[in-house]
Amino acid sequence: MTTTTVSAPAATMRDGYKDYGSGEAAVRALDGINVSMARGEFTAIMGPSGSGKSTLLHTLAGLDNLSAGSSTIADTVITDLSEAQITEVRRKYIGFVFQSFNLIPSLSAKENITLPLDISGTKVDPAWFDEIIGILGLKDRLTHLPAELSGGQQQRVAVARALVARPEIIFADEPSGNLDSKSGSELLAFMQRAVKEFGQTIVMVTHDPTAASYADRILFLEDGKIVDEMREPTADRVLDRMKQMGH
């Protein structure tokens, strides 16, 4: 795989700080984060509980505001945007996969997948749609409601939804966290394929070394700071690194 370093990064953060609460009870969740997510790269963010990895994901994605610093999505500085404008950015450039409850219960799998396009009023590209659901093996499941799908299928529908609008970047928050290991690794393999074959950018938060090993690069977070970075990871290397961090 040839990585192109010419194009601008999909998402960046400069001097990102995030505080919760104030005074004595103040907690610093992000403590001077400088990070850049290159296009077409699969990044995993790892760290122990409370290290601020979820906060980093949320602030990068514009779901939460930074206390100080700035962040960009597709060259747009989102830190100063209004709520409505950030919503617009999310709709245009970002796809999400959450740990659970990814789908609207009253919509069929297909409707869930096309939801972002429906919201923005964009037409579905049928070829692209067919390709995604072909890869994710959802062809027979399209008319089913979420309640009629297995956990793995539900997460695949969520990934399909994230992919369908070809977003600038996909944020995934423990996407395999609720799945058994087989479904989990299948899902992560799909995500990896999306990065390799379609040049999709993905940022994933996880605490599972095996899941992280599917990524191109891993950022290690501790106490709101990026303490290490690992390229071409394997599960064993990740595990060793985590042990050093007191895991």
Partner 1 sequence: MFRLALKSVRHNPKRLILTAFAVALGVSLVAATQVFTNALSSGFSDLFEDIYSGSDVIVEAAPTTDDEAGDPFAAAEGIFTPEEVEEIAAVDGVEIAGGGLQVDGSVLASGYADAGATDSLSGGPPSQIFNWVGDPRIDQATLIDGRGIESQGEIVLDLDAAPALGYELGDEVAIATLDGVSTFELVGTIRFGDSNNLQGATLAFIEDADAHDLAGDPNYSSVSVVAEEGQDLDRLASDISGVIPEGTRAITGEDKAAEQTEELNDVLQYVDIFAIAFGLIALFVGAYIIVNTFRIIVTQRTREFGLMRAIGVTGKQIRRMILLEAVVIAFIASTLGIIMGYLLALAFSWLVSLFAGDIFGTLTLPLDAVLWSYGLGTAVTLIAAIMPAIHASRIAPMEALRESATSGKKPLKVRNIVGAAMFLVGAGVVTLGLYADFERPYIYVGVGAVTLVIGATLLSAQILSPLAGAMRPALWKWFRVDGKLAANNIQREPRRSSNTAAALMIGVMLLALVATFTESLKTVVTEEFSSTRADAFATSTQGAMPYGAIDVIESVDGVALTSSIGFSQAEYDGVAYSVAVLEPETASEVVEYQSDPSVDDLGSGEAYIDPTIVDLGVEVGDEITLTAGENDITLEVAGTLAREGEGNFWIDFATGEDLLGEVSIVQTLVVYDDSVVADDADNADSATTVTEQTELVQEALAEDYPLVFLAQPGQLEQLANTFIDLLLGVISALLGSALVIALLGVANTLLLSVTERTREIGLLRAVGLKKSSVWRMITVESMVMAVFGTVMGMVLGVALGSALVLSLADFGFDGVTIPWVWLIVYTVAAAIAGVLAAVWPAWRASRLNILAAIAADG
Cβ-based nearer residue to partner 1, 62 or 233: 62
Nearer to partner 1, 53 or 90 (CB): 90
Q: Residue 109 and residue 210: Cα distance in Å, rounded?
A: 28
Cβ-based neighbour number of residue 189 at 10 Å: 11
**Measured from the CB of residue 112, what is the shortest distance to partner 1 in angstroms?**
10
Which of residues 29 and 238 has its CB atom nearest to partner 1 in the complex?
A: 29
User: CB atoms < 10 A from the CB of 113, how many?
Assistant: 29
Beta bridge partners of 12: 36, 72
Q: Which residues bind partner 1 (CB under 8 A)?
A: 58, 63-64, 83-84, 87-88, 90-92, 94-96, 98, 101-107, 111, 115-116, 118-121, 147, 161
Min dist. Cβ of residue 42 to partner 1 (A):
21
| Nearer CB in complex with partner 1: 79/213 | 79
CB of 79 to partner 1, least distance (A): 17
| Cβ distance to partner 1 smaller for residue 3 or 106 | 106
Query: What CA–CA distance (Å, rounded) separates 63 from 234?
Result: 31
Indicate the residue among 127 and 147 with the shorter CB distance to partner 1. 147
Nearest to 12 by CA among 203, 172, 193, 222: 203
Q: Is 45 left (phi over 0), alpha (psi -120 to 50) or beta?
A: beta
Rounded to a whole number of angstroms, the minimum distance from the CB of residue 45 to partner 1 is 16
Nearest-approach distance from CB 105 to partner 1, in angstroms: 7
The one-letter code for the residue type at 86 is I
Neighbouring CB atoms inside 10 A of 138's CB total: 20
Least distance CB 220 / partner 1 (angstroms):
23
Q: How far apart are the first and last CA of the chain?
A: 33
**Burial (CB count <10 Å: 0-12, 13-18, 19+), residue 117:** middle
**Beta-ladder partners of 36:** 12
